[in-house]
Structure 1
């Protein structure tokens, strides 16, 4: 799989001078949980990247619950972690890929090519009894990481509104079916989904750190190949990146609507559908 490295690969290549390892663990209901987990033990050489402080911008009236960060600030923080244009970046979380997927997407959006996720994440690393440490490494600041935004990766709310009235664009809602159908809504002010959205729950792709195989991925996303364009969203631009990741594995080129459903319902005039 083109966007992943195995745990054995990381063990064999951990001493590579160009390799930068990033710990993206986080809990959406506990802002301090990720760093607490990191301090309790992480893969040797890994630098912690905060979901709330680094991967998320300032929350406003619109833009969703986890708006994109200022990308100039984001790339400066990546330079501070020693990332350069020649770096190979490996990202891990607890294994479900949601947090690591967000960081992977941000780095790809910033124009970085050599970005990969660690298959199985910290969960499998611990199960395999591989080396961990509580030592926090001192990064060597880089001065050679460029910022070239790939705007083909992103969909704005105007694009989503157009897509909602189009048969040529698939809007993919990555949330659990219960939220998509409007049966429950624990986070946002209105239950339901964007008109014409299709439901592809992100959690169907990963189970306890195990990812589905290439054949299953291709079969799952096969219906989407009938569309000219695909726009993916979730609640706030985090878990939707898992769908983006696996769609790319299937040869698709989806865009992400970063504000997601939480941005959509922040506009009173936007229609919401309940099944």
Structure 2
């Protein structure tokens, strides 16, 4: 299936990469990008992330078969309100937001008023590198792309959104929006919080210059995601408050367990925990790499 017109509202890392991939695969006759600054128009066209780009929202959304919200999470509602009247009947709307519950609750009825359909998406394919300059056509290759339909979602619309992510070599995964938010709080949002905590505390000025000199590859790998956009991550953490707080509570309990084992010199418990953690990560990494390899072969 080829899209007639795909509108990308936001051309950062995810929006730009989606545009590049759709264009590279000839999956859309027209990819239109909405930008906030005039100089971004030339950048978008030069980077090959869109066939056309504009600061005029109506111009970008008009006649689109598919509109993808690629803005920060907290800006998706006002952008949808602004473009609602420009949607053509029957259009599909999705997004790339890291939180799904609040978006589904707010955007599904809003888009329905325009006789269009909203179904949430979340491609698990981000990076600490942000912005159009880092967009690449293979970003979604082998990535799990969560799709969060509701009981109101037409079957054909669900299939089309799944097809979108297959077109860019992602692997669509249907999931309840609330369940998604609980799971990403554990595997994405909590790790970002802990990486930032480590970077902020370990590199605190009171620890001196020699502390930084001792930080090497382990520290670099453990704290990589802390280099992500503070604006974007502030939005994400605020939007997934309850699930994140629950994950933080569970994480604190785990920290207390480990502290107890170390304090009581319970080497057997400590060894078992380290062994289990290694085994689980090694197994996950094997599956993760196999999934990516399978997409490369295709």
Q: Considering the TM-score relative to the shorter chain, is it more than 0.5?
A: no
Q: Which structure has the larger Rg over C-alpha atoms?
A: 2
Normalized per residue, the structure richer in helix is 2
- Provide the TM-score with structure 1 as the length reference: 0.29
